[in-house]
Amino acid sequence: MKIHSIETGKFKLDGGAMFGVVPKTMWSKLNPPDDNNLCTWAMRCLLIEHNQKLILIDTGMGNKQDDKFRSHFHPHGSETLVNSIQKAGYSTADITDVILTHLHFDHCGGAVIRDGERLLPQFPNAKYWSHEQHWHWALTPNDREKASFLCENIIPLQEAHQLHFLQEDSFQNDGISFLFAYGHTEAMTVPIINYNGQTIIYPADLMPSSFHIPMPYVMAYDIRPLDTLSERERLYQLVLERNALLFFEHDPIHEMASLKKNESGRIVIDQYLQSNEL
């Protein structure tokens, strides 16, 4: 098995929303905001080579949205989904599977491209995988999440007959299993990868960055923040039991980290790592 970190660019989100109840005097030391209280975040995906498959986890925001949409989130940077896949030695036609952790625009927007008046899957030969319960949740969004679920990112996958629903054993032969989390959104997928004997967990927005390791650092976007706390406790237990690495989708600096308990019994960063160091 080989893995590649796929950088798709950066964007900005409100610092208060990203750090929830934590005071700005504390979180601003971790990720300093601009004059509009916006912090920069990565949109980092993961490409896995295994068993003649090329499996992509999440797709970033994409570039098909209009200027008004982009003005809210300020996408920037030289990296793109397609260029990063090309740097790894592949093309969009080579991708066999796309696992979408959830269908918020910054995780699935790159799944679909605009071709003139048409919206088409970015990866023509891929199966796109989503949790069925989450899929239906996204199609009938609540008012809290409505701005994050965009039909143009979702419906074309179904219309192209490339949509498939995940089961816990869908990628069993590929060394990937799944947890499903309900704090951030309904039935978000958390892939667990057996990387040559090393466990790598892709927590998506259950743990968007290394800044969110302390328990109170829960995003205001989460629909069930108390469930997020419980799910993080189980995540930390799994990380410590397996000596696993966490892969951070939104951390603007760090790709991965291992964790440990400090002298006070708190979970803290043990070591930062890059995927090319494994």
Distance of CA 11 to the CA centre of its chain: 13
Tell me what the pLDDT averaged over the chain comes to: 97
pLDDT of 276: 85
Kindly state the DSSP code that residue 88 receives in the 8-state scheme.
T
Mean pLDDT over residues 5-17, rounded? 98
Answer whether residue 168 shows pLDDT above 90. no
Mean pLDDT over residues 254-275, rounded? 96
Q: For a pLDDT cut of 70, what percent of the chain falls above it?
A: 100
Q: Show the domains of the chain with their CATH numbers.
A: 2-277 (3.60.15.10)
pLDDT of 277: 86
Alpha helices (H) along the chain: 15-19, 24-27, 67-73, 81-87, 105-108, 132-139, 151-159, 225-242
Residue predicted with more confidence, 217 or 277? 217
CA angle, 269 as apex, 265 and 271 as ends, to 5°? 130
pLDDT of 260: 97
Specify whether the CB–CB gap between 171 and 177 falls below 8 A: yes
- In tens, the pLDDT along 27-66 reads 999 999 999 999 999 999 999 999 999 999 999 999 999 9
Mean pLDDT over residues 129-150, rounded? 97
Specify whether the CB–CB gap between 188 and 182 falls below 8 A: yes
Specify whether the CB–CB gap between 205 and 104 falls below 8 A: yes
Backbone region of residue 52 per phi and psi (left: phi > 0; alpha: psi in -120 to 50; beta: other values): left
Question: Is the pTM here over 0.95, yes or no?
Answer: yes
